[in-house]
Amino acid sequence: MKHLIYADNAATTQLDMDAFEAMKPYLLGEYGNASQPYSFARTARKALQESRRLIAECIGALPEEIFFTSGGTESDNWAIKGSAFSDSEKRTMITSTIEHHAILRACADIERLGYPVTYLSATSSGTIDPSELSKWINEKTRLVSIMMANNEIGSIQDISALADIAHSKNVLFHTDAVQAVGHWPIDVAELDVDMLSASAHKFNGPKGIGFLYVRKGTIIRPYCSGGGQELGMRAGTENIAAIVGMATALKKNISELAKSTAHLQYMEDCLINGLRKNQVFFIRNGSEKHIPGNISLSFAGYSGESLLHRLDLMGICVSTGSACDGNSTQISHVLQAIGLDEEIAKGTIRISLGKYNTEDDVNNIVSALVKIIAAYEKKKT
């Protein structure tokens, strides 16, 4: 089998081996239901408590402020709908045009139910200008939701400045931090957010598990009804193995953050310099402040889809647009929102490097792109 070069870490990441090992006992012998009072369930209950404590510690929260969910999509839907339905006086929401579909489609759902939503536009580097937010926020606004890091172009927002504006008008602030948690330092007190979404499979944890941080005292409606799990806010028997895997992966990524950031920055530089040295022309999308390793490149005159398939034939996984739009040939809403010219946007690929990528991987990606582009050029002449 061809050696796989996985460079689509913004779509999902490889499960960390320590996380996998930590999960095993809860998939096998320790299968007790954490809500049961007998002693057999005690190990599962303790693992649940310890995982909640570890995760809270990683983001500067209290354990009772962490609510386990099935991932980023559920956390985002809960933040939007749970806020909208909790205050009949304040019914309007503010978000941005560059959010993930988990936010945009949740907003479309509430709009259909009569909750107006304002969509702030982004700058060409994919950031939201806090002064734009000031213009639109008013006494009817219930929630502002702005993502911390964009999944397609990696741009990082000034979340504390945006949250400040929301709080000055007594409005709740949520951030979709699915691409940031485990990859960027996060302290919810410093950011001053009321809610924050995260998803384990983006930081080398298992799929189908995530959490919503909800600041103590924040009033939102429960996500679903049933048993009394998660303080009665999100019913359903807890997936202990996945929760333990998520906590282990997050703790490990946070403790290695400085090292992996330096490694990713180095590889990013190798990739960009490698393409330049070979006179491959491209536009780099996103802002200076971005998630390390998230590299969105536009090759004018080429098809991003065709680049993706040619790289795939060479054993290299990258993405066009966002992962959730993987089968679509439409220009992504993010590239449209940052005002990228259609012809340039069509030639965009996202290379997202992760902690397991090596310098060799990057050199191979550069050589592959150089070869593919040279072949295109030859065809043209």
Chain residues binding ligand PLP by CB under 6 A are: 71-73, 76, 100, 102, 147, 151, 176, 178-179, 199, 210, 323-324
Question: Closest distance between ligand PLP and the C-beta of residue 12, in Å?
Answer: 8
Catalytic residue among 224, 270, 317, 324, which? 324
Residues whose CB falls within 8 Å of the CB of residue 269, separated by 6 or more in sequence, listed in order: none
Can 324 be counted among the known catalytic residues? yes
Q: What are the phi and psi torsion angles at 116 (to 5°)? A: -65, 145
Question: Closest distance between ligand PLP and the C-beta of residue 218, in Å?
Answer: 20
Which residue is at the shortest CB distance from ligand PLP? 72
The smaller minimum CB distance to ligand PLP, of residues 141 and 199, is found at 199
> How many C-alpha atoms does 232 have within 13 Å on its Cβ side?
2
Which two three-digit tokens encode residue 196?
């924050």
The smaller minimum CB distance to ligand PLP, of residues 32 and 127, is found at 127
Question: Closest distance between ligand PLP and the C-beta of residue 146, in Å?
Answer: 11
Question: Closest distance between ligand PLP and the C-beta of residue 151, in Å?
Answer: 3
The smaller minimum CB distance to ligand PLP, of residues 16 and 76, is found at 76
As a three-state string, the secondary structure of 14-51 is CCCHHHHHHHHHHHCCCCCCCCCCCHHHHHHHHHHHHH
Long-range Cβ contact pairs of 51-57 (< 8 A, separation 24 or more): 51/243, 51/244, 51/246, 51/247, 52/243, 52/247, 54/247, 54/250, 54/251, 55/211, 55/246, 55/247, 55/250
The smaller minimum CB distance to ligand PLP, of residues 353 and 368, is found at 353
- Give the whole-angstrom CA distance, residue 224 versus residue 74: 11
Active site residue ranges: 324
